[in-house]
Homo-oligomer: A and B are copies of this chain.
């Protein structure tokens, strides 16, 4: 009865009086009305009109809420786009859920227990000698080219689309940024999108990856791990590899934070270099066992939180584990670890992104330090995930700025720059010319680097 009444309420034009229950009682009501004085009739009519208006108004609200009257004027394109997005998500979920009964990734997880010993692979102990012999036999794959060591930049992201759609767009811009830097400086890139070792998921995934790449690319002298949320912002600066000839690891950090304060952020594993040698394999062998998912990672997390200053309580991460390792076994490792802070091999974004205009005004690319940071690293922004540590707006705008700040240095050769640090649009800064080679000599970064060595 209620719904019938609702339906009649919706259908009735607002000018007529509500007649709920009219069929049963219309006659009675009519008789009652004729018994009332005219004034009372008018008042009754007025009351009925008010009720009608009330119900009519409420009906309209309901219609808006259920069938979206407001949407009838929006474009078909919007509705179609929304449909497309939903369909795409459904298809992706289906693709991603393709279950393979032989696929251990589709089995319930089995964690290593605390007593188990984890290993990245069979122990290799003669890597330096083996590699040296191989390099001699393969002169077409030298580990030094034009006096510079061969560097392999390694980065990556998970194989599935980001939780937040915009994350994939920033991963794309991030890899474009790296492609530009590496093209200018003759560095090769590996972009990893595969989980090589289920137990070493998350941050720890870089360890088995680095080991595998070292052993598969003997021609590479340095493996340079760089997070996907780190951008190059000095396109001219080059790693001063001559500084590290007696070292096997180069990592950004502060010795006092490391040894005096034992801070959990004393070093940053978002951007570091690892020489392709036995020492590095050995370090990986003692670093990795702290990482396997499950009880090992959890228990290690507690130890790390107890021992490192400022560390929140959460499972072990590779950075804290490395810090703890280097503190605990200082004598064994530190003579080959260069803790670098004369330039921003890793530059925490918060103190840098608002100063780009000032940098443009006062300084120039090639400095790599706080005046013109080599790398701006968006720690905590997590555009690929759902939960960053900073407001989304601040992160996105800052990443746009960093990207464009860097892109301007690349576009300079081509005679363009971005209209503003937040604008995707570019404008000419040099007209097309009939003598383009003059500009090549003047503006190609590689020519500058080649002529003057490192521009620091």
Where the two chains meet, the residues of A that have a C-beta atom closer than 8 Å to any C-beta of B are 1-3, 5-6, 9, 18, 20-21, 25, 28-29, 32, 35-36, 40, 43-44, 46-47, 50-51, 53-55, 57-59, 61-62, 64-66, 77, 80-81, 84-85, 87-89, 91-92, 95-96, 98, 100, 103-105, 120-124, 130-131, 134, 138, 140-141, 146, 157, 159-166, 168-169, 171-173, 175-176, 179-180, 183, 188-191, 193-196, 212-213, 215-218, 386, 392-393, 396-397, 400, 407, 411, 413-416, 419-420, 422-427, 432-437, 439-440, 444, 446-447, 450
State the oligomeric state as a number of copies: 2
Q: Is there an interface contact between A176 and B176, defined as CB atoms closer than 8 Å?
A: no
Closest CB-CB distance, A6 to chain B, in whole Å? Answer: 6
Q: Is there an interface contact between A51 and B50, defined as CB atoms closer than 8 Å?
A: no
Q: Is there an interface contact between A176 and B195, defined as CB atoms closer than 8 Å?
A: no
Which residues does chain B contribute within 8 Å of A98, judged by CB atoms? 420, 422-423
**Bound Cα distance A61, B413 (Å):** 62
Q: Is there an interface contact between A164 and B84, defined as CB atoms closer than 8 Å?
A: yes
**Bound Cα distance A134, B438 (Å):** 10
Which residues does chain B contribute within 8 Å of A104, judged by CB atoms? 427
Contact A425 to B195, CB < 8 A, known contacts A165-B161, A166-B88, A183-B190: yes
Which residues does chain B contribute within 8 Å of A138, judged by CB atoms? 447
Contact A140 to B450, CB < 8 A, known contacts A21-B50, A64-B65, A216-B413: yes
**Bound Cα distance A190, B57 (Å):** 60
A25 touches which of B43, B57, B123, B165 (Cβ 8 Å) = B43
Q: Is there an interface contact between B100 and A423, defined as CB atoms closer than 8 Å?
A: yes
Which residues does chain B contribute within 8 Å of A131, judged by CB atoms? 437
Q: Is there an interface contact between A65 and B61, defined as CB atoms closer than 8 Å?
A: yes
Which residues does chain B contribute within 8 Å of A172, judged by CB atoms? 157, 168, 171-172, 175
**Bound Cα distance A341, B58 (Å):** 67
* Sample of 30 A–B contacts (CB below 8 Å): A5-B53, A6-B54, A6-B58, A20-B50, A25-B47, A28-B43, A29-B43, A58-B58, A61-B66, A95-B397, A98-B423, A100-B423, A103-B427, A105-B419, A122-B433, A124-B434, A134-B440, A165-B168, A175-B176, A176-B193, A183-B190, A193-B424, A194-B426, A195-B426, A196-B414, A212-B415, A216-B413, A216-B414, A216-B444, A217-B440
